[in-house]
Structure 1
Amino acid sequence: MSFHTIIIVGNVGREPEMRFTPNGQPVTSFSVASSRSYTNQQGEKVDETIWFRISAFGKLAETCNQYLHKGSKVLVEGRLIPDKNGGPRIWQRQDGSPGASFEVTANTVRFLSARGETEPGAPLDEGLAHDDSAEIPF
Structure 2
Amino acid sequence: MNKAIYTGNIVRDINLTYVQGSGAAVLKNTVAVRRKIKNKTSGQYDSDFIPFVAFGVQAEFIANNFEKGQGIQLETYMKSGSYTKGGIKHYTLEAVVDSVEFMGAKPNTYNQDCQGSNNFPDMNQDYEDNITPVDYGNSPF
TM-score bracket for this pair, using the shorter chain length: 0.5 to 0.7
Q: Partner residue of 2:68?
A: 70
- Which residue matches 1:7? 5
Tell me the equivalent position of 1:33.
32
Residues of 2 paired with 1:77 and 1:36: CA distance?
18
* Local SS of the residue matching 1:114: coil
| Partner SS for 2:59 | helix
- CA distance in structure 2 between the aligned counterparts of 1:76 and 1:55, rounded to whole angstroms: 10
The one-letter code sitting in structure 2 at the alignment partner of 1:79 is: Y
- With 44-53 and 17-26 compared, the bigger mean Cα shift is at 44-53
- Residues 20-42 of structure 1 show CA distances to partners (whole Å, capped at 9, x for unaligned) of 123111111221000125257x7
Larger radius of gyration: 2
CA distance in 2 between counterparts of 1:31 and 1:18 reads 13
Query: Structure 1's 44 and 33: CA in aligned 2 closer, same or farther, altered over 3 A?
Result: closer
Change in 2 beyond 3 A, CA 1:88/1:110:
farther
Greater helix content: 2
Pair 1:114 & 2:105 matched = yes
User: Cα gap change, 1:35/1:88 in structure 2, threshold over 3 Å: closer, same or farther?
Assistant: farther
Runs (5+) with no aligned partner, structure 1: 90-101, 123-138
The question of whether the paired residues in 1 share the 8 Å contact of 2:73 and 2:102 is answered with: yes
Pair 1:39–1:65, CA change in 2 (3 A): closer
Amino acid across the alignment from 1:28: L
Compared with structure 1, are the counterparts of its residues 12 and 39 closer, same or farther at alpha carbon in structure 2 (3 Å cutoff)?
Answer: closer
Tell me the TM-score normalized by structure 2: 0.62
Determine if the alignment matches structure 1 residue 81 to structure 2 residue 115.
no
- When the two structures are aligned, how many residues end up with a matched partner? 103
Q: What's 2:86 paired with?
A: none
Note the alpha carbon deviations across 1:82-107, whole angstroms, 9 max, x for none. Answer: 3439x975xxxxxxxxxxxx621100
- Deviations for 1:35-79, whole angstroms, at most 9, x for unmatched residues? 125257x78735321111111111111110011111111110111
Percent of pairs identical after alignment? 21
